């Protein structure tokens, strides 16, 4: 079956899928050239080859893997959707390989097989798992806990289960969102992966929306190859702009540049360019070494609704939101559906911080924003109050819940808004959310460097001026 034929079937099947159910199941089918590239990452083994494809769709990945490996003895595929399953059956029959299609929930069956010690243990797996959040009280979450898996998305659940179903030396190649690389919610998954497998290869698509352009997927995707039970060595990092792979490049990096040995969060960095490790000057100290802290904004506004004030008064407390900052400048008060202030009171006061210099970073950046990290300075001279409320959509840099030194605050904002920092941050963060945990695990310039930057930095500077200032630090 040619790539043209496979893609024709994929597009035909796509038109028959119910859009609502497609979103419910997190279905995004793999283009044939991506499937072919993923299959090329698999190596033959001496063992009889048993292939796993969970969330198989029309079978693009299984077809490509069988073609590459040539000596596959059996294929097991899971596919819930009846429309996809009919195409999948036709595809696998044409391969002339023994196969089983499970018209069932992969999580249900994999957990049962692991609990009872039954079913196949595989030598190879190719995966394009569904992308969908798992609620904390859902049946899937409870099932996964039975086999020691704690995770928040179907894609990481599928990958974790596949790891447990592999034989020692088993190879898994998966195309998944990059969001697993950092953040607290995926830490248990990263632990399972890094303790049981070696990372062999990571491929990055530089354009966020081009890996699954037919499905308008905006997740930033990577292709990951891991090997169960193998000793960790260097990692191949490759890149291409989009799924054509026409500008494919690769380089070999030390694993210590991918997962830091001292990192208890197990963040996965993807250093695609050489200069992304050359940060000794700017990226040298942790926040603790600087004597600084970062926390999520303590005011959860909907819990304070009884204390909202649209217009500030003499005794009210300013409640700061992202909309109060435009092009780096503070605009307060500002007409908006959200309040500008809170009435003082015992239930409010415990969530406030004393007026002072703070650096605040938006927790959520828009997909179209140029930088992932967007930082602002809170200047106490512009706030006519003894205390400030920071809404929960901020990350707040502070000194023991008080303001920072003025020059350090300005220098920190300058550093965080630089393109250099943005490149560094993207090495381990593939989603638009910026967690306090991410910021805690970063390295920062010395206080001396931050102070020197702060003496020259102005919030109204252009990106070019900020980058020039940081480059000369």
Strand partners, 58: none
Q: Which of 445, 420, 393, 440 is nearest to 183 (CA)?
A: 440
Q: What does DSSP assign to residue 256?
A: G
Angle among Cα 398, 338, 434 to the nearest 5 degrees reads: 40
Cβ neighbours for 374, distance < 8 A, ≥ 6 positions apart: 361, 362, 365, 417
| Rounded Cα distance, 377 and 275, in Å | 28
Omega prior to 232 cis, within 30 of 0: no
How does pLDDT run across 92-128, given as a tens digit for each residue? 988 889 999 999 999 999 999 999 999 999 999 999 9
Please state which of the four CATH numbers 3.30.420.40, 3.40.50.150, 2.30.110.10, 3.40.50.1100 is assigned to the domain occupying 3-276: 3.40.50.150
Domain ranges of the chain: 3-276, 287-471
For the record, the structure tokens of 438 come out as: 């991410």
For the record, the structure tokens of 75 come out as: 């294929």
Cβ neighbours for 110, distance < 8 A, ≥ 6 positions apart: 54, 119, 161, 162, 164, 165
| Rounded Cα distance, 374 and 62, in Å | 42
- Judge contact between 39 and 124, C-beta under 8 A: no
| Rounded Cα distance, 467 and 464, in Å | 5
Residue located via tokens 């072919």 = 36
Residue located via tokens 């927790």 = 363
Beta carbons within 10 angstroms of residue 131's beta carbon: 23
Q: What is the DSSP string of 346-373?
A: HHHHTT-EESSBEEEEESB--TT-S-S-
Cβ neighbours for 37, distance < 8 A, ≥ 6 positions apart: 203, 223, 245
Number of H helices, E strands in the chain: 16, 20
What pLDDT shows up at residue 21? 44
Q: Which of 276, 231, 230 is nearest to 253 (CA)?
A: 276
How does pLDDT run across 297-334, given as a tens digit for each residue? 999 999 999 999 999 999 999 999 999 998 888 999 99
| Rounded Cα distance, 156 and 142, in Å | 15
Q: How far is CA 172 from CA 55, 159, 197, 300, in A?
A: 14, 8, 10, 41
| Rounded Cα distance, 293 and 382, in Å | 23
Beta carbons within 10 angstroms of residue 368's beta carbon: 7
Residue located via tokens 């303790």 = 195
| Rounded Cα distance, 65 and 175, in Å | 14
What pLDDT shows up at residue 154? 96
| Rounded Cα distance, 451 and 457, in Å | 10
Q: Which of 335, 62, 18, 272 is nearest to 173 (CA)?
A: 62
Q: What does DSSP assign to residue 98?
A: E
Q: Which of 403, 414, 399 is nearest to 454 (CA)?
A: 414
Beta carbons within 10 angstroms of residue 238's beta carbon: 18
What pLDDT shows up at residue 279? 52
Q: How far is CA 86 from CA 73, 82, 97, 274, in A?
A: 22, 6, 17, 47
- Judge contact between 254 and 199, C-beta under 8 A: no
What pLDDT shows up at residue 24? 47
Asked if the 287-471 domain carries CATH number 3.30.1490.190, the reply is no
What pLDDT shows up at residue 291? 95
State how beta strands 49-54 and 122-127 pair: parallel
- Angle between helices 3-16 and 32-40 in degrees, nearest 10: 120
What pLDDT shows up at residue 28? 61
Q: What is the DSSP string of 383-420?
A: --SSEEEEBTTEEEEEBTTBPBPHHHHHHHHHHHTSHH
How does pLDDT run across 178-214, given as a tens digit for each residue? 999 988 899 999 999 999 999 999 999 876 454 444 4
Regions of the chain where pLDDT drops below 70: 1-29, 207-219, 273-280, 366-369, 428-432
């Amino acid at each position: 079956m040619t790539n043209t034929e496979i893609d024709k079937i994929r597009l035909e099947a796509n038109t028959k899928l119910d859009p609502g159910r497609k979103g419910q199941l997190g279905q995004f089918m793999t283009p044939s050239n991506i499937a072919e590239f993923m299959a090329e990452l698999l190596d033959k083994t001496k063992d009889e080859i048993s292939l796993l494809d969970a969330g198989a769709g029309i079978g693009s990945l299984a077809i490509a893997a069988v073609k590459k490996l040539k000596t596959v003895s059996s294929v097991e595929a899971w596919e819930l959707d009846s429309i996809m399953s009919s195409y999948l059956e036709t595809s696998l029959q044409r391969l002339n390989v023994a196969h089983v299609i499970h018209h069932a929930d992969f999580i249900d069956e994999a957990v049962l097989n692991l609990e009872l010690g039954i079913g196949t243990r595989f030598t190879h797996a190719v995966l394009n798992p569904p992308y969908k959040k798992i609620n904390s009280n859902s049946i899937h979450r409870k099932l996964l806990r039975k086999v020691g898996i704690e995770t928040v998305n179907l894609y990481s659940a599928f990958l974790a289960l596949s790891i447990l179903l592999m034989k020692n030396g088993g190879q898994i190649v998966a195309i998944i969102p990059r969001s697993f690389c950092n953040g607290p919610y995926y830490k248990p998954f990263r632990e399972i992966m890094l303790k049981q497998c070696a990372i062999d290869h990571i491929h990055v698509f530089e354009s966020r929306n081009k890996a699954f352009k037919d499905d308008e997927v905006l997740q930033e995707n990577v292709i990951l190859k891991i090997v169960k039970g193998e000793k960790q060595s260097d990692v191949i990092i490759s890149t291409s702009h989009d799924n054509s792979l026409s500008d494919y490049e690769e380089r070999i990096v030390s694993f210590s540049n991918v997962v830091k040995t001292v990192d208890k969060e197990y963040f996965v960095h993807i250093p695609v360019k050489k200069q992304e490790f050359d940060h000794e000057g700017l990226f040298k100290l942790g926040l603790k070494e600087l004597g600084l802290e970062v926390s999520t904004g303590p005011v959860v506004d909907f819990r304070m609704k009884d204390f909202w004030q649209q217009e500030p008064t003499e005794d009210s407390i300013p409640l700061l939101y992202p909309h109060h900052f435009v092009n780096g400048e503070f605009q307060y008060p500002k007409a908006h559906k959200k309040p500008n202030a809170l009435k003082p009171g015992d239930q409010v006061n415990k969530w406030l911080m004393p007026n002072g210099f703070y650096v605040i970073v938006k927790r959520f950046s828009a997909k179209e924003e140029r930088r992932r990290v967007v930082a602002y300075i809170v200047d106490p001279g512009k706030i006519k109050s003894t205390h400030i409320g920071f809404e929960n959509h901020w990350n707040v840099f502070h000194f023991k819940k008080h303001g920072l030194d003025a020059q350090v605050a300005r220098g920190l904002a300058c550093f965080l808004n630089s393109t250099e920092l943005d490149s560094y941050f993207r090495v381990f963060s593939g989603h638009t959310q910026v967690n306090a945990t991410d910021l805690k695990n970063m390295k920062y310039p010395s206080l001396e460097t931050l102070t020197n930057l702060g003496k020259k930095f102005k919030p109204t500077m252009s990106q070019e001026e900020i980058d020039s200032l940081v480059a000369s630090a």
